[in-house]
Structure 1
Amino acid sequence: MTEPLKQQLFTGERALFKARDLDIIHSTFADGESPLKESANITLTHSYFKWKYPMWYSRNLKLRDCTLYDMARAGIWYTSDISMTDCIIEAPKTFRRTTGIILDNVSLPNAEETLWHCRDIKMKKVHAKGNYFAMNCENVEISDFELIGNYSFDGARNVVIENARMLSKDSFWNAENVVVRNSFISGEYIGWNSKNVKFVNCIIESLQGFCYMENVVLEDCTLINTNLAFEYSTVDATVNSVIDSIKNPIAGKITAEEIREIIFDDPERSDRSDTEINIIRR
């Protein structure tokens, strides 16, 4: 790398267009779109982005203690191999069609429409608030995650989440190959139209959750305030609590401490023999 750029103020459109092999420290990217467009092999430390589209079509970026302010929106699109540590991303719509993302101790207080159509993502100690988080993402590993925002992980594929707290209505719709462990999820209509979704040792609250799902598995989970669950789903559920009600499961096995109401009211599915229901009182 060349001599570090320290305490610089970059202004104007494409201020460092196609920059290569730079170490940027204590610098600010002020007014001017696309300052690092088409850049590669850039390290940024204690630096700040204040305008739109800062890192498009870039490769191999490493950011530490950096901030993307609100107007740095749509900031990282069509980029590959980017890591961000101890950063704040205030801007919405960050990460679109980006591959190879590592986020460690990152705060996203305005994460509307963030992480769309991205692949190969690792996140640890990430706090996000915003709707439609991680839509259509693939190959995602997440731990120590907090999310406040509805419609998360819609259409996601190959996702593993551990130690999460999610306040998220309609999460995991249209998803495939998802495992969630040791987590708390509160939201309506969880998982509709999804395939191969597994929850292990989770606490879940959901109105009419787990419906229209193929191969939904709940292993040692607690369901609170959950009713009309599992409609038109194939299910294998071991629940360490009461379930308020289940409705029209297609097939599988449901074991719980108590099920307060079991509803089979579809006249076209009068054969209930494919669904085994067990009550185990502790």
Structure 2
Amino acid sequence: MNHTTWQPDAHAGIWYTQDMTMTNTTVRATKTFRHAQQLRLKNVDFSDAGETLWWCDDVQLDHVTVNGDYFGMNTNNVVAHNLKVTGNYVFDGGKNIEVHDSTFITHDAFWNCENVTIYNSTIIGEYLAWNAKNITFIDCWLESDQGLCYVDHLTMRNCSLINTDLSFEYCTDIDATIKTSIDSVKNPVNGQITAPKIGQIIFDDPAIDPKQTTITTQEETTHGK
């Protein structure tokens, strides 16, 4: 499908489809793509993407623009390049997701996800990646109020973490190297966190052993506090 426009009355289209390519297309209809497999989307603009791309599998996204909430819920095996999303709850419940050079303006992004790797991307919005498992950020800019909490196996390489307070709460197996100051860290379970400076380190849950987390800044290395 090439050079096509889907108007709003075409909502809830393309369900249970296999092996489809869509290029240079504008989709103004909600609830497009559900239970579809082997999708290749390039230069596609979803201008009203509410509840789009649900329960799909084997999806390639290249220069796709999305405006709407709940894009990609429970969708698995995704590779995205130059994806731009404005809307909340993106990829909730997804598995095996790889993202490159993309921008997300969304709160509650990547909730309940498993096996996610994000490269050289920007994510702005509160509560990033809660309840995720095995998620990696490489060379990313992240700005998230109370972001990165309740994550199991969190890896961060050369990332900026801006305006993010109470981060890493109840995260396990953390391996985080941050190149900016962090506002505050609260109750990480175990792992290591490295940053130039951390404004506040909080351990106020007696069930958490601070000695299980190594925190390194330019001033000092501590095992909790």
Q: TM-score, normalised by structure 1?
A: 0.76
Matched residue, 1:227 = 165
> Partner residue of 1:132?
70
Where does residue 144 of structure 2 map in the other structure?
206
CA-to-aligned-CA distance 1:41-65 (integer Å, 9 cap, x gap): xxxxxxxxxxxxxxxxxxxxxx000
Matches within 5 A, 1:137-216: 137-216=75-154
Q: What is the match of residue 252 of structure 1?
A: 191
Q: Given the alignment of the two structures, is residue 218 of structure 1 paired with residue 156 of structure 2, yes or no?
A: yes
Q: TM-score, normalised by structure 2?
A: 0.96
Q: CA deviation at 1:268?
A: 2.1
CA distance in 2, matches of 1:119, 1:224: 33
Provide the residue aligned with 1:237 in structure 2: 176
Structure 1 letter corresponding to 2:204 = D
Cross-structure match for 1:37: none
Partner of 2:22: 84
Percent identical residues: 45
> CA–CA distance in 1 between the matches of 2:9 and 2:199?
51
Tell me the alpha carbon deviations over residues 201-247 of structure 1, each in whole angstroms, 9 at most, x when there is no partner.
00000111111110011110001100000000021110000000000
| Counterpart-to-counterpart distance in 1, 2:23 and 2:112 | 31
Q: Give the secondary structure class of the aligned counterpart of 1:227.
A: coil
Question: In the TM superposition, what is the alpha-carbon distance from 1:185 to its structure 2 partner?
Answer: 0.3
CA RMSD of aligned residues (A): 0.8
Which whole-Å deviations, capped at 9, do the CAs of 1:60-115 have from their partners, x for residues lacking one? Answer: xxx00011111100011111111101000110100000001000000001000000
Pick 1 or 2: higher relative contact order, CA cutoff 8 A, min separation 6.
2
Distance in 2, Cα, partners of 1:280 & 1:175: 33
Matched ranges for 1:25-40 at <5 A: none
The residue type paired with residue 94 of structure 2 is: A
- Structure label with greater radius of gyration: 1
How far, CA to CA, are the matches of 2:149 and 2:82 in structure 1?
27
Count of paired positions: 218
Secondary structure of 2:72's match?
coil
Q: Secondary structure at the match of 2:205?
A: coil
The answer for the alignment partner of 2:223 in structure 1 is none
